[in-house]
Amino acid sequence: MYIRIESGEFVLWDGSLETLAAAFPGKTLQAIEAFSVLEDVPFGAVGLAGASLFIYLAYDSVATAGELYYSGTPLSLEIAAEGATGTSYQLFTDNISTPIIQTRCIICHSSTGIASATVSTWQLQYLAATEPDFLQSNYNILVNYIRNATDGSELILAKPQGMEAHLGAVQLVEGTDEFEAFEAFVNAVLSE
C-alpha cells in the first residue's frame, strides 16, 4: 500500500494512522474538489496496463480537530491496455510495425537517431524490435501522436511522403501497398 505525500511522491505505507501523512496539508476542501492522482504517466509503459488502482481519501475536520475521516470505500480506477484488442492494433502488428516502423522509421526515429525525442516534444521515438514491449510501446506512441498532436493524423501521413518538412526524405509513396496500409491504420485509430 502506498500514500501520496506532500512532495507528490508515492511512498510505502504500513497502514497505521500514526504514519499517515497529508498530501495537501492545510488545504480547505470544497463541496466538490478536483484532484490529480497521477500526471503524465503512461501506465502501459510502466507495466500497469490491465491493473486496478484503489484510492482511499482521508481528511480531518475543523469541526472536530484531530479527528480523521476517511472514505471507507475506495475510488476504483481500471487501467485498460490501450488498443490491445482494437482493429488499429491488429493493423499495426500485421502491416505497420515491421515493414514501416522497424524497416524505415526507426533509422532516424530512435533514441540515437536524428529525430530523437530530445529535439521536440512531438518527435516520434520508437523502440527496436529487440526491446521488451516494443510493439505496444510503438503502437501507443503512434496513437498518441495521431490523436493528440496538432494535425497529427494529417502530418503522420504527409511527412513520410515528403509533403511536409521531413529530414528523413520520402519514405512512403501514395498508392503503394505500404502507404495504403498506413492510411488504413491512421483511419482505424481515428474511428476507435
Q: What gap in Å lies between CA 100 and CA 178, rounded to an integer?
A: 7
pLDDT, tens digit (0-9, with 9 covering 90-100), for 126-165: 999 998 889 988 998 899 889 888 888 999 999 898 887 7
| Mean pLDDT on 58-72 | 74
DSSP 53: E
More confident residue, 48 or 108: 108
Residue for grid cell 511536409:
164
Q: What gap in Å lies between CA 177 and CA 133, rounded to an integer?
A: 26
Work out the burial of residue 14: count CB atoms within 10 Å of its CB; fewer than 13 is exposed, 13-18 middle, 19 or more buried.
exposed
Q: Which amino acid is at 71?
A: S
Supply 188's cell numbers. 482505424
| Mean pLDDT on 70-87 | 66
| Mean pLDDT on 34-38 | 68
pLDDT of residue 83: 45
Residue for grid cell 495537501:
24
72 confidence band (pLDDT: 50, 70, 90):
confident
